[in-house]
């Protein structure tokens, strides 16, 4: 019936015998064209900020990003960032290991320098000891310190500060000589923020990362490559609170300082742990993201890292912005972020923003679809 109506209303000879037939046919044709255009996707302002901070984390539009979910408490919003270089070691491999933290006094990144001799992600050699060739980094321009809470059992009970990470990203580009420009970058984030440097098969390497669907592999280039970092679990959308018996417990303190880390130890066997850089907190959280680059020894890959955060508690007095609420939008965004892990590898020449927007539209369409039981 639809095809018959279409043929009738677009047939010039038939419409010419009807009063105002030409105008009717033109209007109908315009309506059909408009129906074929994709519908514009709209979101709440806070959700749009969240989208911006994971697709353009260094842009001004991402400033003040928030997650419209949870207790919906007025929050302080800030961004921490750091720049540095990954140096390819004598084993022709360079590594950046990331355990994101919203605080300014704990190690959250470990990168190789010219003294690195390995070719896999063995980054600790003994309890609380980094392997030779690794440098620990702290995002010193984050607004708050973990020590302000972890310094005593009393502050842990009172919780004058709670922070959740909204999202961010890392930008990478080659800065070595043109003659030595070669190799690949393998970037992997565990899809449930488990340990990315060790697994049941042992230490991560370029070959083991290549076996994961989620791993983004791209050639070394001077063209900047941006990689989004996002919450992936519902628990990461909430602010961390110490359990009743958790004050002073190292595992609980690690969960507070590293909200996206699922465990304290950094390898599956539980043999070694890595220093956090904070006296009150012995061990850092396990790393959920790893970047491995191959190439000529001594050459460098420059990186820029940014993470947007939301903070609540007494220490944010006088710095809070109004709360927002959009639980359905958050559910759709979390599903789209999960899809992004694999889907971006199918569109290597598209930006993360375009791929994420496409997946968000698919999630909304699927949610609104109705099928027979």
Look at residues 341, 96, 345 and name the one whose alpha carbon lies nearest to residue 230. 341
Whether the per-residue pLDDT at 32 is higher than 60: the answer is yes
Same domain, 121 and 10: no
Whether the per-residue pLDDT at 2 is higher than 80: the answer is no
Rounded to 5 degrees, what angle do the CA atoms 237, 274, 236 make? 5
| Predicted pLDDT of residue 49 | 94
Our count of domains for the chain comes to: 2
The residues, any chain, with a CB within 8 Å of residue 183's CB and separated by 6 or more, are 88, 92, 219, 220, 293, 294, 295, 296
| Predicted pLDDT of residue 19 | 72
Same domain, 87 and 11: no
Answer whether residue 235 is part of any domain: yes
| Predicted pLDDT of residue 97 | 96
Look at residues 122, 119, 91 and name the one whose alpha carbon lies nearest to residue 297. 91
pLDDT in tens, 162-180: 999 999 999 999 999 999 9
Same domain, 140 and 199: yes
Same domain, 177 and 235: yes
Contact at 8 Å (CB) between 9 and 32? no
Answer whether residue 197 is part of any domain: yes
With cut-offs at 50, 70 and 90, classify the pLDDT of residue 268.
Answer: low
With cut-offs at 50, 70 and 90, classify the pLDDT of residue 349.
Answer: confident
| Predicted pLDDT of residue 116 | 95
| Predicted pLDDT of residue 263 | 66
Whether the per-residue pLDDT at 24 is higher than 80: the answer is no
- Please give the structure tokens belonging to residue 44: 């709440």
Question: How many CA atoms lie within 13 Å of 285's alpha carbon, on the beta-carbon side?
Answer: 25
Contact at 8 Å (CB) between 158 and 150? no
Same domain, 72 and 184: yes
Same domain, 8 and 139: no
Answer whether residue 41 is part of any domain: no
Whether the per-residue pLDDT at 21 is higher than 70: the answer is no
Handedness of CA 309, 313, 318, 322 (dihedral sign): positive
Same domain, 143 and 182: yes
Report which secondary-structure segment, H or E, holds 82: strand 76-87
Same domain, 211 and 281: yes
Greater model confidence, 127 or 253: 253
pLDDT in tens, 132-153: 999 999 999 999 999 999 999 8
Q: Which domain holds residue 177?
A: 62-325
| Predicted pLDDT of residue 348 | 84
Same domain, 175 and 246: yes
Answer whether residue 149 is part of any domain: yes
pLDDT in tens, 38-75: 556 678 899 999 999 999 999 999 999 999 998 789 99
Answer whether residue 348 is part of any domain: no
- Please give the structure tokens belonging to residue 21: 């037939």
Global pTM?
Answer: 0.86
| Predicted pLDDT of residue 219 | 95
With cut-offs at 50, 70 and 90, classify the pLDDT of residue 124.
Answer: confident
Mean pLDDT score, 352-370: 89
With cut-offs at 50, 70 and 90, classify the pLDDT of residue 1.
Answer: low
Answer whether residue 123 is part of any domain: yes
pLDDT in tens, 270-322: 556 788 999 888 788 889 999 999 999 999 999 999 999 999 999 999 999 99
Answer whether residue 368 is part of any domain: no
Same domain, 18 and 125: no
pLDDT in tens, 92-116: 999 999 999 999 999 999 999 999 9
What are the φ/ψ torsions at residue 161 (nearest 5 degrees)?
A: -150, 135
Identify the top-confidence range among 10-24, 211-225, 252-266: 211-225
Whether the per-residue pLDDT at 34 is higher than 60: the answer is no
Answer whether residue 56 is part of any domain: no
Whether the per-residue pLDDT at 35 is higher than 70: the answer is no
User: Residue 210 is part of a domain; what is its CATH number?
Assistant: 2.60.120.20
pLDDT in tens, 200-256: 777 899 999 999 999 999 999 999 999 999 999 999 999 999 888 888 888 899 999
Same domain, 30 and 74: no
Whether the per-residue pLDDT at 37 is higher than 90: the answer is no
| Predicted pLDDT of residue 135 | 96
Same domain, 21 and 73: no
């Amino acid at each position: 019936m639809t095809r018959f109506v279409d043929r009738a209303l677009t047939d010039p000879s038939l419409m010419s015998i009807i009063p105002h037939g030409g105008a009717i046919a033109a209007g109908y044709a315009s309506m059909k064209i408009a129906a074929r255009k994709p519908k514009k996707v709209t979101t709440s302002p806070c959700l749009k900020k969240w989208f911006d901070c994971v697709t353009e984390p260094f842009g001004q539009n991402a400033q003040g990003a928030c997650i419209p979910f949870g207790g919906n408490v007025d929050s302080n919003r800030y961004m921490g960032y750091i720049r540095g270089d990954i140096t390819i070691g004598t084993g022709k491999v360079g590594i950046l290991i990331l355990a994101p933290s919203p605080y300014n006094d704990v190690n959250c990144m470990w990168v190789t320098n010219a003294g690195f001799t390995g070719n896999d992600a063995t980054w600790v050699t003994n309890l609380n000891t980094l392997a030779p060739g690794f440098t620990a980094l702290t995002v010193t321009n984050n607004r708050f310190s973990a020590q302000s809470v972890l310094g005593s059992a009393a502050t842990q009970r009172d919780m004058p500060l709670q922070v959740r990470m909204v999202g961010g990203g890392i930008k990478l580009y080659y800065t070595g000589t043109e003659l030595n420009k070669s190799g690949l970058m393998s970037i992997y984030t565990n899809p449930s923020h488990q340990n990315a440097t060790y697994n049941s098969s042992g230490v991560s390497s370029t070959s083991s990362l290549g076996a994961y669907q989620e791993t983004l592999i791209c050639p070394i280039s001077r063209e900047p490559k941006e990689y989004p970092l996002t919450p992936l679990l519902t628990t990461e959308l909430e602010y961390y609170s110490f359990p009743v018996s958790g004050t002073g417990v190292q595992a609980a303190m690690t969960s507070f300082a590293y909200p996206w880390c699922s465990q304290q130890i950094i390898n599956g066997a539980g043999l070694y742990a890595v220093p956090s850089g904070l006296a009150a907190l012995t061990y850092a959280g396990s790393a959920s993201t790893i970047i491995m680059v191959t190439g000529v020894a001594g050459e460098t890959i420059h990186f820029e890292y940014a993470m947007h955060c939301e903070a609540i508690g007494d220490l944010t007095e006088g710095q809070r912005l109004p709360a927002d609420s959009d639980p359905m939008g958050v559910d759709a965004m979390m599903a789209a972020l999960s899809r992004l892990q694999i889907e971006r590898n199918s569109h290597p020449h598209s930006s993360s923003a375009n791929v994420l927007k496409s997946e968000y539209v698919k999630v909304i369409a699927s949610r609104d679809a109705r099928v027979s039981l």
